[in-house]
Homo-oligomer: A and B are copies of this chain.
Amino acid sequence: MISRRALLQGVGAPGGLPAAIATLAALGRLPAAPARAAAPVLPRGDRRVIVIGAGIVGLVAAHEMRRAGWSVRVLEAADRAGGRCLTLRAGDTVRESGAPPQRVAWEAAPHLYFNPGPARIPHHHRGILGYCRALGVPLEVQVNENRAALLQSSAGPVPQRRVQADLRGLVAELAAKGLERGTAEAPLGEADLEALRAMLRRFGALGADHRYHGSSRAGWASPPGAGLEAPRAMVPLDPRLLLEPTLWAGAAFAEGIDYAATMLQPVGGMDRIAAALATALGDALVLGAEVVSLRRTEAGARVRWQGADGPHEEEAAQVLVTLPAPLLARLDTDLPAARRAGLAALHYSSAAKLAFHCARRFWEEDHAIYGGISWTPGDATQLWYPSHGFHAEGGILTGAYIWDDELGARFAARSPAARAAAVAADGEALHPGLGREVAAPVSVAWSRLPRAGGAWAEWTAAQRRALYPLLRAPEGPYHFAGEYLSWLTGWQEGAVLSAWAALEGMG
């Protein structure tokens, strides 16, 4: 075991342990895991509240209000609850502004669905998972990292497993070489160095010589069978390939706190969460209710809205506004100009997705790829294989998940047919022949969805300092919530946490 003293002495010396690490708090019991997230306890009473918008945030807020005995009406302009928590199935229609409607033309089956919005839930997003648990929404594993999925290199696609293993080998070998050369200068004793070296050997699958000679972690050149021949591991990739950013950037993707295993998904589609919340709300939820204006009154605020049966108006002491910022900015309200300008200034992502129906699950049958994500060389960016329905009759392949704004805008500007052609061409680089396997494309460019205003809010650091406190503050009878009013934008968990934060302010 490396002594504390040796560590600290090693800090300044070449070859010693990293300074940033060595000067940390002393050993002791590790901090406990953070407490479980929970909705605030609301005062019980017969308040009346209007909630505008039945995305996850509005549904959750209304659900909690009703649990406290409040009288709630949720006004939702669309003919379904969920907002960006959306699942497409046979017969659904996507209506983008300025584009022809797209009808989902694949057959009906429980495993044939597409989540154009959120499509995965990290295991530590305890707010949204808590509602799944409370409302009985069945969950299953979503495969976010699959070592059989492909990354892009200038020499063609390379399986994740090979990149992961060879990168670890390369980095561990470089670290071991650094130790070798630093040994004489550093105050680390031989026992301490050996502890580090043992770690590096295991970390990188190095040989006893602390060099990386390849590893079965990368896959097999000749796989283990039942013949006389012993298996042989893949030889390491040329390091010039490993240093291509498309390989190393994609390989670290699932290290991110919101991308690491275990990832979950509702069985049958993400909208099962919104559907369960909507069911719990019963007739407190009014669909097809488009809010027209908001005005303060003596007792609170008056909401005018247009229903299927004509215009309505209704007053309440408090109104929770959960519209996305761009939509709220454009609504006829008596909100101060500074807030409205701030709402309009907040940028929303142009993220987009496209899915194909495939009669044959060629990724499983031909390539043994069960779920996970491959990276395409072109605009499509990511190709997602379904994490469910393994070996079933057909499947829905998410051919493109684009989140870069410029790529997303370019995608949105194309016709649905042109998008599909571009995505199929991109997928060919991963899976030659893909073009013959895919059919019935459907795409969603979030920037063109009239009731979304974009995929999610993207705060600049400067906006976080000045604008965020302004936009999240209540204003008289008006309270505000949405994924944009959280530090987890683009995640349903952000919507849940924002709903809870707004409830704190209303309670």
Chain A residues close to B by CB (< 8 Å): 1-2, 4, 7, 14-15, 17-22, 24-31, 33-34, 36, 123-124, 126, 129, 132-133, 136, 138-141, 143, 145-148, 153-159, 161, 164-175, 177-179, 181-182, 195-196, 198-200, 202-205, 207, 211-213, 216-221, 223-228, 230-231, 235-245, 248-249, 252, 255-257, 260-262, 264, 365-372, 387-388, 390-391, 464, 468-469, 472, 481, 485-488, 494, 497-498, 500-502
Given A24-B235, A34-B220, the answer on whether A243 and B196 have CB atoms closer than 8 Å is: yes
CB distance from A135 to the nearest CB of B (A): 10
Q: Count copies of this chain in the complex.
A: 2
List 30 interface pairs A-B (beta carbons < 8 Å), by A numbering: A17-B170, A18-B239, A20-B236, A21-B170, A25-B235, A26-B238, A34-B220, A36-B366, A123-B370, A132-B391, A139-B390, A140-B141, A143-B262, A145-B261, A146-B261, A161-B257, A168-B255, A171-B175, A171-B200, A174-B174, A178-B181, A216-B256, A220-B257, A224-B486, A226-B487, A226-B488, A230-B464, A231-B487, A261-B372, A262-B370
CB distance from A180 to the nearest CB of B (A): 8
B residues less than 8 Å from A27 (CB atoms): 154-155, 238, 240-241
Query: In whole angstroms, what is the CA distance A387 to B224 when docked?
Result: 27
Q: Is the CB of B235 within 8 A of A202?
A: no
Q: Is the CB of A239 within 8 A of B203?
A: no
Report which of B4, B20, B33 forms a contact with A211, defined as CB distance below 8 A: B20
CB distance from A371 to the nearest CB of B (A): 6
Query: In whole angstroms, what is the CA distance A237 to B27 when docked?
Result: 9
Q: Is the CB of B140 within 8 A of A17?
A: no
Q: Is the CB of B391 within 8 A of A2?
A: no
Query: In whole angstroms, what is the CA distance A446 to B330 when docked?
Result: 69
Query: In whole angstroms, what is the CA distance A238 to B28 when docked?
Result: 10
Q: Is the CB of A19 within 8 A of B123?
A: no
Q: Is the CB of B196 within 8 A of A226?
A: no
CB distance from A254 to the nearest CB of B (A): 9
CB distance from A313 to the nearest CB of B (A): 30
Q: Is the CB of B139 within 8 A of A494?
A: no
Q: Is the CB of A21 within 8 A of B501?
A: no
Q: Is the CB of A133 within 8 A of B252?
A: no
Query: In whole angstroms, what is the CA distance A35 to B203 when docked?
Result: 30
B residues less than 8 Å from A205 (CB atoms): 252, 255
Query: In whole angstroms, what is the CA distance A481 to B225 when docked?
Result: 12
Given A225-B486, A239-B7, A486-B224, the answer on whether A203 and B248 have CB atoms closer than 8 Å is: yes
Query: In whole angstroms, what is the CA distance A25 to B31 when docked?
Result: 48
Q: Is the CB of B261 within 8 A of A2?
A: no
Report which of B181, B202, B481 forms a contact with A181, defined as CB distance below 8 A: B181
Q: Is the CB of B497 within 8 A of A18?
A: no
Q: Is the CB of A18 within 8 A of B129?
A: no
CB distance from A266 to the nearest CB of B (A): 10
CB distance from A265 to the nearest CB of B (A): 10
Q: Is the CB of A257 within 8 A of B216?
A: yes
Query: In whole angstroms, what is the CA distance A153 to B30 when docked?
Result: 10
B residues less than 8 Å from A212 (CB atoms): 18, 20-21
